[in-house]
């Protein structure tokens, strides 16, 4: 009987240690998540959780109506929105160790064409013609949360996210696939696009991949076959949109 009690005590202790470890891990993940509050009294939260291949990606989050017409941008990586990067680019493959302009049309092409011309001049943001109609933030280094007010409480709409990571090659998207395209050489695997329909029938929604952007950045076409993408699918673990309870 004594041995049985001893074994039982050990099992309880191990269970407590495992539980504490899981709790600490969850707390650590929560601490890593940066919180961005865009509006006062927000009723919507967008949680962007990093995946195993997350490494300073370029991304944008925006809203469309149910027919797919662009409405507004929620969040965009500051470097892409401003055309100003941590490393200035000269020519096709020379990067200087200083902040400066860089032109990256293949980074977020689906959003770029969806939102249209900036000031009726250019599609891709530049230092002379930046995109300023959204909240901009530094290139994310970890998971983050956006708190905001939902555009519409009655009509259905879509939330989309496009993400791209510099130099993310694989066996299909090789660095010599499009040798004449400087834009592709910087992008590697094309941008991955996620989407979800907000239909007011749930408190929580998960964005799912719907395709990839133009690998050359020459169009706003959405390619629905993403079977050739590998590590690009692991940049993010999940994107969750949730609403504050009315209770």
- Quick: pLDDT tens for 136-152: 999 999 999 999 998 67
Tokens of 27: 């707390």
Percent over 90 (pLDDT), the chain: 69
Q: What is the largest CA-CA distance in the chain?
A: 83
**pLDDT number for residue 196:** 98
**pLDDT number for residue 102:** 85
CA 77 to CA 208: how far, in whole Å? 20
CA 214 to CA 106: how far, in whole Å? 7
Per-residue model confidence as pLDDT tens digits over 39-52: 888 999 999 999 99
**pLDDT number for residue 21:** 40
pTM: 0.83
Place of tokens 């050359």: 216
Tokens of 187: 């992008």
**pLDDT number for residue 246:** 59
Backbone angles phi, psi at 16, to 5 degrees: -65, -40
CA nearest to 102, candidates 78, 118, 121:
78
Per-residue model confidence as pLDDT tens digits over 153-210: 678 999 999 999 988 999 999 999 999 998 998 889 999 999 999 998 899 999 999 9
Q: Is residue 113 within 8 Å of 123, Cβ to Cβ?
A: yes
Contacts of residue 216, Cβ cutoff 8 Å, sequence gap at least 6: 105, 106, 178, 181, 183, 184
Burial (CB count within 10 angstroms: exposed 0-12, middle 13-18, buried 19+), residue 241 = buried
- pLDDT classification of 25: cutoffs 50, 70, 90: very low
Contacts of residue 132, Cβ cutoff 8 Å, sequence gap at least 6: 81
């Amino acid at each position: 009987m004594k041995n049985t009690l001893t074994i039982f005590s050990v099992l309880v202790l191990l269970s407590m240690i495992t539980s504490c470890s899981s709790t600490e891990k969850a707390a650590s993940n929560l601490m890593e998540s940066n919180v961005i509050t865009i509006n006062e009294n927000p009723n919507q939260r967008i949680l962007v959780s990093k995946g195993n291949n997350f490494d300073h990606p370029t991304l944008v989050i925006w809203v469309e109506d149910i027919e797919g017409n662009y409405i507004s941008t929620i969040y965009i990586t500051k470097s892409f929105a401003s055309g100003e990067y941590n490393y200035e680019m000269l020519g096709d493959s020379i990067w200087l160790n200083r902040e400066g302009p860089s032109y990256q049309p293949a980074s977020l092409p689906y959003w770029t064409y969806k939102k249209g011309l900036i000031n009726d001049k250019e599609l891709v943001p530049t230092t002379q013609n930046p995109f300023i109609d959204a909240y901009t933030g530094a290139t994310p280094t970890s998971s983050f949360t956006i708190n905001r007010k939902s555009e519409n409480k009655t009509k259905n709409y879509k939330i989309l996210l496009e993400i791209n990571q510099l130099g993310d090659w694989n066996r299909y998207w090789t660095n010599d696939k499009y040798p004449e395209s400087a834009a592709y050489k910087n992008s590697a695997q094309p941008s991955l696009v996620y989407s979800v329909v907000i239909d007011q029938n749930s408190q929580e929604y998960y964005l799912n991949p719907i395709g990839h952007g133009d690998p050359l950045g020459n169009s706003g076409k959405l390619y629905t076959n993403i079977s050739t993408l590998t590590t690009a699918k692991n940049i993010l673990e999940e994107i969750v949109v949730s609403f504050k309870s009315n209770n």
